[in-house]
Amino acid sequence: MPTPVDLVGVGLNATDTLLLVPAFPAYGGKVRIAREITSCGGQVASALAAASKLGLRAKYIGTVGDDARGELQLASLRETGIDLTDVEIRKNCANQSAYIVIDQSTGERTVFWSRPDCLTLDPSRISEANIGCARMLHIDGHDTPAVEQAARVARGLGIPVSCDVDTIYSGFDRVLPLVDYLISSTEFPARWTGIQNPYEALKKLPSRFAAMTLGAEGVLARDGAESLYVPGFVVDCVDTTGAGDVFHGAFCYSVLNKMSIPDALEFACAMAALNCTQLGARGGIATAEEARKLMKTGQRRAWQR
């Protein structure tokens, strides 16, 4: 029988190469790399790492290549205490990789990524046995048939589903109605609905709760019929990589700990901001105490529309 966990995640991991530059060059320009670092990331894997550090029992369902980058990813996940029972190691397959150029003058990053087809997750590997041991499911959108299967299993078992989506995937219209907590990128609601007004776009998304992250400016959300905005926090930003992933992990932690939606969003904003103070997708994952201190004393950054 599978070991009970609080949060199970189905989705992406990636092994990143961070390239730090003094400032991002103009198109066609040239700039010297100040520093090169290898670190681990990926939407769902990093969200689980954040949730695990906050004290949740987490399990990852996904695929990893058998190259050096895959080995680094597995080692990183093991260090966080995440259950890797249902991780598939694909033979003769490179792990997903990303080259992330970080502008040291702002901390903003630009991502170039690659994921070979041999990492595609088969939906037949998703069952009640490996989903039903959890109190909550977190997914992204990339292997859409697999995450749809996971969400359908969770819905059938009465397990709430959280989703992180940043672009439109073929077949994702079958996934969205199965999602309880949808938190997307800034651009997704308008792209999906064709409505430019963000408040109206969020209303048209089928999930009971829908939100869009606004980077340093926080998060805009719709909970049932109620709209709300939670500002971000001002920090000394070093690297924005992984901030959204940590936000999702912290939000799942908050829901499972029965925080109110406004408190959950504020806590997630604080965790995301603190992650930006260090290099790497998981470099600045804070403790709950550190996040609460920022919530109490930190300066907010209002949304400038």
264-292: per-residue pLDDT in tens?
A: 999 999 999 999 999 999 999 999 999 99
Strand spans (E) along 43-176: 58-65, 87-90, 97-103, 109-114, 136-139, 161-165
Domain for residue 18, yes or no? no
Range of the domain at 70: 7-13+43-94+121-301
| Full-model pTM | 0.95
Q: Is 37 exposed, middle or buried (0-12, 13-18, 19+ CB in 10 A)?
A: middle
The tokens describing 175, both together, are: 């996934």
pLDDT digit string, tens, across residues 6-45: 999 999 999 999 999 999 999 999 999 999 999 999 999 9
Domain for residue 83, yes or no? yes
Number of domains in the chain: 1
CATH code for the domain in which residue 244 is found: 3.40.1190.20
- What number is the average pLDDT over the span 209-221? 96
Domain for residue 214, yes or no? yes
Domain for residue 139, yes or no? yes
Domain for residue 24, yes or no? no
Domain for residue 37, yes or no? no
The reported pLDDT for the residue numbered 60 is 98
- What number is the average pLDDT over the span 246-272? 98
- Is the pLDDT at 305 greater than 70? The verdict is no
Alpha-carbon separation of residue 113 from 63, 84, 98, 132, 177 (angstroms): 16, 24, 4, 32, 29
The reported pLDDT for the residue numbered 168 is 93
Domain for residue 99, yes or no? no
Q: Which helix (H) or strand (E) holds 56?
A: none
